[in-house]
């Protein structure tokens, strides 16, 4: 079945550094790729998403890139701050409709002051 692999599982950076999280997906028909941030004990919240007709999207310090040929997409966070510390999940929306999502296993990001 459809699968999303996410790396790394943990990431530790110093405040001000950049962080990159990478995901690969298996269903070549996938067209929508959201990223969620989950703080401890809270709900997953959408932080950015990208659709297959776009190669890159930016929102302030956050950017996502998509390579459909290679079936991988990445989240880039620049100038990291302690409040960026959380678990980040990538997801892909496979064929079949109904906006179903397949999630990666998550990356625990720690930003140290």
Contact residues: other proteins, CB under 8 A:
1, 6, 9, 31-32, 34, 36, 42-46, 49, 51, 89, 93, 97-101, 103-106
Nearer to other proteins, 42 or 61 (CB): 42
Cα gap 10→7, rounded to integer Å: 8
- The three-point CA angle 10-16-20 to 5° equals 40
Nearer to other proteins, 9 or 81 (CB): 9
Nearer to other proteins, 49 or 113 (CB): 49
Cα gap 89→36, rounded to integer Å: 5
């Amino acid at each position: 079945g459809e699968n999303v692999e996410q790396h790394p599982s943990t990431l530790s950076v110093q405040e001000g550094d950049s962080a990159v999280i990478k995901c690969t997906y298996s269903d070549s028909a996938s067209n929508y790729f959201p990223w969620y941030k989950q703080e401890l004990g809270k709900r997953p919240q959408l932080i950015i998403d990208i659709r297959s007709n776009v190669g890159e999207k930016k929102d302030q310090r956050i950017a996502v890139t998509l390579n459909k040929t290679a079936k991988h997409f990445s989240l880039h966070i620049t100038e990291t701050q302690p409040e960026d510390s959380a678990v980040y999940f990538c997801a892909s929306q496979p064929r079949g409709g109904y906006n179903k999502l397949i999630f990666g296993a998550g990356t625990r990001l720690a930003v140290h002051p």
